[in-house]
Chain A
Amino acid sequence: MTPDLVSLTVAGGSLAAHILGTLLWLRLPGPLSPVLRHGLSAAVMHVGGTLVGMRLIGPMPYWPGASVFAFGATVWLFVYCAVYKSVSLRILSCIARAHAGRLSLDRITDRYILGEFRDRMAVLETMGCVVVRESDVVLTGKGRRTARYFEMAQRCFGIERSGLYGDAAPNVSTADRPVQK
């Protein structure tokens, strides 16, 4: 086996361990976010796999294995994020599971679209970015700091407004907020 193939084999083993490790770790409760768990597992499995390879096999080139491992771990994270966060895929699964594989538009709005908003608001509350006071939502210090970081990143990359209606969104303050339809 050539040194390049040894490096690729070690990377394949590390990637398999990373995939199995994340499948187990993501099911366990804990304070770390899923994306952070992916990142930590990838780092540990890559370093661990490289060390084990060095110990058992000997010298080998680093980059062939490292690049294939990095690509595999990124695709794995990409698949996770698509399944975890995609509103469209979630709606599709719910439609397919519904009776006769069909759902009314009103039910999709009420149950899944408004549900997604509630879920994301709950995520921000759990992260400590917002709190609910007398039925109003208030930004916390942590939320303001996080928003400032994103504002800097958006300014750096010339994104005036983020989100679905980014280009159309006016700069509305609480004094002139639009009326809910």
Chain B
Amino acid sequence: MALTMPDFTPTPAVACSLAASVLLGLFLLALSHRPCKVAAPGRRFALAVALALVCWSGLLLLFARLDVVDLLSAACMLATAVLAGFTLWTLVAWGFTVSLLMALYRADGPLSPADWINLYTAGKTIDAFRDDRLGLLFRLQLVRRQGDHVVAESGRGRRVARVTSLLRFLFGLPS
């Protein structure tokens, strides 16, 4: 049987998603510089996504036809762009390993491991870093403080921990 090429022509809804994905990048660029600059990187990304979603909805209303599969594939396409963009954004803005590398690069000379960590934390103690990472678990009510100990919540905390351990096992990562 001869191979028949699939139809590569995007439907109007998919074309709207491709356009919105490009707009997401452009909005991020625009919001990163004056006069539209949003200072906090997290809020900046959220605003860029919101603007892209507004444009996407408008484009869909104008050009797309009402078809469930078409709209589902369009939504998946835009969600892919948002997730991929968020992954890259977190790497550039908050990436742990990247930030360590950048701290050493900006120091412009050899550093002891202790000084390297100190530069990364901008002179704050290592406990501040620990409290920041624990803060997320406290906010999501996965753990609670008990004196100078941290306790996993018996319901949600333990369930999330079990799922995490299972996934680490599946991925072949050390537990």
Contact = CB atoms under 8 A, between A and B. Distances in A.
Nearest to B166: A83
A84 B171 contact: yes
A164 B6 contact: no
A31 interface: no
Contact of A101 (B77, B105, B158): B158
B108 A173 contact: yes
Contacts of A171: 106
B114 A180 contact: yes
Interface residues of A, number: 101
A67 to B, nearest CB: 4
Interface string B132-175: 11101100001100101111101001101110110110111101
Nearest to B158: A96
A144 B122 CA distance: 21
A83 B168 contact: yes
- In this complex, the interface size class of chain B, counting residues with CB under 8 Å from chain A, is 35 or more
Contacts of B134: 88, 91, 108
A92 B161 contact: yes
Interface string A66-93: 1110110011011111011101111111
A109 B95 CA distance: 20
Given A78-B83, A121-B116, A154-B92, A91 B100 contact: no
B76 interface: yes
Given A60-B7, A101-B151, A158-B33, A165 B122 contact: yes
A78 B6 CA distance: 29
Nearest to A10: B6
A72 to B, nearest CB: 8
Given A26-B172, A64-B70, A164-B99, A92 B93 contact: no
A43 B28 CA distance: 27
Contacts of A89: 160, 164
B143 A95 contact: yes
A97 B111 CA distance: 35
Contacts of B32: 156-159
22 contacts: A4-B69, A54-B6, A58-B1, A67-B80, A79-B167, A83-B167, A92-B137, A92-B157, A93-B164, A95-B152, A103-B150, A120-B96, A138-B110, A153-B92, A162-B92, A164-B94, A169-B122, A170-B123, A172-B106, A173-B108, A177-B107, A180-B115
Please give me the 10 A-B residue pairs with the lowest Cβ-Cβ distance, nearest first. A163-B99, A158-B32, A96-B161, A147-B105, A174-B109, A178-B123, A27-B172, A71-B76, A136-B110, A67-B73
Interface of A: 2, 4-5, 7-8, 23, 26-27, 50-51, 53-55, 58-64, 66-68, 70-71, 74-75, 77-81, 83-85, 87-93, 95-97, 100-106, 108-109, 113-114, 116-117, 120-121, 123-124, 129-130, 133, 135-139, 143-144, 146-148, 150-151, 153-154, 156-159, 161-166, 168-174, 177-181
